[in-house]
Amino acid sequence: MKKVVLETKGKEAILLQEDGTFIKVKNKNYKIGDKVEVKSSVFNKKTILSLAASILFFLIVGGGVFAYNYPYYYVSLDVNPGILLTSNIFNRVIEATAINEEGEKILEDLKIKNRAIEEVIEKTILKLSREYLQEGNADLLISYVSRGNDIKDKRIDRINEIVEKTTEGNGIKGNVTIEVTGYEMVQKAKEAGITPGKYNLITNLLNEEITEENKNSSVSDLMKRFTEEIRNRQEERRENTNREDNGNREENLNKNTNDNGRENSNRNDNQNRQENENRKNQNLNTNTEEENRDENTPEKKTPPFNRNERIPELPTPVGNRR
């Protein structure tokens, strides 16, 4: 029955049998993973516990090494030099990458590997300030990218504190912007050869494709263009708002005019109806008065004709007398 060499310790070797038990044999220059045929010798309890402790220690140490070297979040710093810092979950910088030649000059003589991220950010800003942040119109863009959201807000607050302390305490001029971007932007930025912060500024804020021109532009130039773009958008929005307000005022004016016209028309109609009603009432009163007058006036009676009454003779005209 073949056994698998699991561990070697000097003159002894530990083998794993097919039934899951372990045996200790003389080491004949075995290598871990070799399959050998030897006589069985079952481990005692002490040997098994010792082996289990060794395996557990290996797993803990190995897992710890893996966790330490695993990239957990990124911080990029851009002026025109571009620098990308990679930190593990323990807030230790495990890698610092210069995106361009200016970035390589900044990283020279800086002891960064395995240092706390706060210390590295402070040292990097101080070195950037000597050459790139002396003018008040210079811009520093700091971007934070994380794989997880568990304590992201706390890290952002901490980065803010470090930046404020470093810039204010050392009289650093220039404008500092801190942003949070998505992890997928790190890969796209690496492919484009720029930092995640500049990638986000170009593609999302300026809404442009990556070109050699904007890749090589300083953050100040890009921020100026973005500020102008914002100003133009605000002006366009203001014009549209004024245009809408003027249209609404004109519509309201026309509506008020129509309402006034209808109101005047209704008033005239009501007045005409009232006048007609008054006229009708006046005519009715007039007719009533005439009827009442006729009723109160005595009727003139013609006397009856008497046959025996002598009809007076009419005087004879003077010219006809004889």
3-state helix/strand/coil string of the chain: CEEEEEEEECCEEEEECCCCCEEEEECCCCCCCCEEECCCCECCHHHHHHHHHHHHHHHHHHHHHHHHCCCCEEEEEECCCEEEEEECCCCEEEEEEECCHHHHHHHCCCCCCCCEHHHHHHHHHHHHHHHCCCCCCCEEEEEEEECCCCCHHHHHHHHHHHHHHHHHHCCCCCEEEEEEECCHHHHHHHHHCCCHHHHHHHHHHCCCCCCHHHHCCCHHHHHHHHHHHHHHHHHHHHHHHHHHHHHHHHHHHHHHHHHHHHHHHHHHHHHHHHHHHHHHHHHHHHHHHHHHHHHHCCCCCCCCCCCCCCCCCCCCCHHHCC
Structure tokens at 128: 């950037």
Domain end position, chosen among 228, 243, 261? 228
Model pTM score: 0.53
Residue 296 lies in a domain: no
Q: Are residues 132 and 221 part of one domain?
A: yes
Strands 139-146 and 175-181: parallel
Q: Are residues 213 and 85 part of one domain?
A: yes
Cα distance between residue 46 and residue 58, in whole Å = 19
121 contacts 160 by C-beta, under 8 angstroms: no
Residue 243 lies in a domain: no
Q: Are residues 143 and 55 part of one domain?
A: no
36 contacts 3 by C-beta, under 8 angstroms: yes
pLDDT of residue 219: 83
Which structural domain range is residue 120 located in? 73-228
Q: Are residues 124 and 200 part of one domain?
A: yes
Of 189, 187, 212, which is closest to residue 199 (Cα–Cα)? 189
134 contacts 220 by C-beta, under 8 angstroms: no
Domain end position, chosen among 213, 228, 243? 228
Q: Are residues 183 and 97 part of one domain?
A: yes
Average pLDDT, consecutive stretches of 10 residues, N- to C-terminus, the chain (322 residues)? 76 74 80 72 55 56 66 88 89 90 89 89 88 72 74 74 83 77 80 87 86 86 82 81 79 71 70 74 65 57 53 54 45
Q: Are residues 78 and 59 part of one domain?
A: no
Q: Are residues 54 and 80 part of one domain?
A: no
Residue 300 lies in a domain: no
Residue 288 lies in a domain: no
Q: Are residues 47 and 194 part of one domain?
A: no
Please tell me the total number of residues recorded for the chain in this structure. 322
Q: Side-chain half-sphere of 20: how many Cα atoms within 13 Å?
A: 0
Q: Are residues 83 and 45 part of one domain?
A: no
Alpha carbon separation from 287 to 282, 283, 284 (Å, rounded): 9, 6, 5
pLDDT of residue 270: 73
Residue 107 lies in a domain: yes
Residue 273 lies in a domain: no
For the chain, what is the domain count? 2
Domain end position, chosen among 228, 244, 270? 228
Q: Are residues 22 and 119 part of one domain?
A: no
Residue 188 lies in a domain: yes
* Residue owning tokens 């992890």: 183
Q: Are residues 64 and 77 part of one domain?
A: no
Q: Are residues 79 and 6 part of one domain?
A: no
Residue 235 lies in a domain: no
